[in-house]
Amino acid sequence: MQTIKLKEIKHRGKFQIAAFFPYNRTLIELCKEASMVYSKTHKCWYIENNAENYNQVKTKFYGQADIDETELLAVNSEKLNLSTSLILPSTPLRNHRIVSTLRTEIKSEKMEGYDKREVPKEIADGLYKLKQWMAHKRYSESTIKTYLDSAKSFLMFVHPKPLQDVSNDDMVDYVNEYIIKRRLSFSYQNQAVNAVKLFFREIVKSKLDVEKFERPRREYKLPNVLSKAEVAAILKAHNNVKHKTMLSLIYACGLRRSELLYLKPTDIDSKRGLLIIRQAKGRKDRIIPISEKIIEMLRRYYMMYKPKVWLFEGQKVGEQYTAGSLQEVLKQSLEKSNIKKPVSLHWLRHSYATHLLEAGTDLRYIQELLGHKSSKTTEIYTHVSTKNIQKIKSPFDDLNL
């Protein structure tokens, strides 16, 4: 198995997690999936050094390569004076203010060398059967990979316990000793529960009562929304026609990142003013109206770049534009427009939905445009729409002060 060396470098004025390895197409694709960007200067793939990104990179490379992170862990643990096993999502690893409250160590002997253990044949065979079963059921490639990674994590945790003897208590131990101590997210825990339930229900067919696996309490987070002025500033920041068109199309049609990257020139029906999204999340097709303004922008882009396979292609003809490069395009826009918020591409989709709602568009239509399976998913935008909230008068205004 190939070795990836993780180090910290300073690049573009920030401390980055850098991945060094000999040329390997599979590992390069994993870097792109982890939103890493290639540096010609340092001859490596990199992403900003924080715990959330660290988790993301480790998850992508786990089981695909041997990870040498000695230098990276030494730097991060020295800066925070923490155990090298501690991972704190969304927390900059160089933030000294959190040191006093976070002097925690993972002492579980069970976790020592956990990431470097060889996968036993029983587990490998079981995961292969799970992969075959999911492929037979036409799960998407990304879902298959996610479930395999999650199931593997749990199975390696309980090993060498025979699979037929695994109990619900093992899931409790896994959550406490692995997920919680590593500060992994609610969604990661929920994903792990789903994967393990599927594995034991369909592959092992043990007496384990998977229906009693407890999911974490659901988080209720409001979507991040930009004002129309902020969206306009982001979209106007780029002079590059391709970059401007990509970001504009995401906002104008409320697209997911993957939906934009998988568009083909034939998906644009300019005569009917429609954009066709094919086999998006949940393997669903949908159509979205596009204005003449966007169509003209797309025509100008098409005349300049003449894409062959994908609507937005990389430097090579027929090569799909990467998620990491698209994220870099947004990052440059934020810097040029001097917007300090931690905006992601999904913020543009949230903003599209919220602005439609504020303009009076029926929630049922917004659900169709976004491709939501449940109306409850779409209803969250009613909590961030300011159309009616701003009309509410505070009783403070009536006080005679």
Identify whether 23 is a catalytic site residue.
no
Active-site residue (options: 60, 349, 350, 355): 349
* 160 prior amide bond cis, ω within 30: yes
Identify whether 372 is a catalytic site residue.
yes
- What span, in angstroms and rounded, lies between the C-alpha atoms of 271 and 331? 34
Identify whether 321 is a catalytic site residue.
no
CA-wise closest residue to 351 among 332, 335, 330, 321? 330
CB 127 within 8 A of CB 120: no
Determine the Cα angle at 122 with ends 116 and 126, to 5°: 100
List, for residues 85-112, the tens digit of each pLDDT value: 333 333 334 333 323 232 233 333 344 4
CA distances from 1 to 133, 149, 305, 337 (A): 26, 17, 40, 44
Hey, which residues does 280 pair with through a beta bridge? Answer: 284
Share of the chain above pLDDT 70, in %: 80
List, for residues 203-224, the tens digit of each pLDDT value: 887 656 656 666 555 555 677 8
Identify whether 381 is a catalytic site residue.
yes
Residue 109 pLDDT = 36
Identify whether 346 is a catalytic site residue.
yes
Q: Determine the length of the chain.
A: 401
**Selected residue with higher pLDDT from 348 and 363:** 348
Identify whether 147 is a catalytic site residue.
no
Residue 104 pLDDT = 31
Residue 65 pLDDT = 80
Q: What letters, b where the CB count within 10 A reaches 16 and e where it falls short, cover 67-91?
A: bebeebeebbeebbebbbbbbbbeb
Active-site residue (options: 32, 197, 243, 372): 372
List, for residues 276-289, the tens digit of each pLDDT value: 998 877 678 888 88
CB 9 within 8 A of CB 16: yes
With a cut of 90, say whether residue 137 has pLDDT above it: no
269: left (phi over 0), alpha (psi -120 to 50) or beta: beta
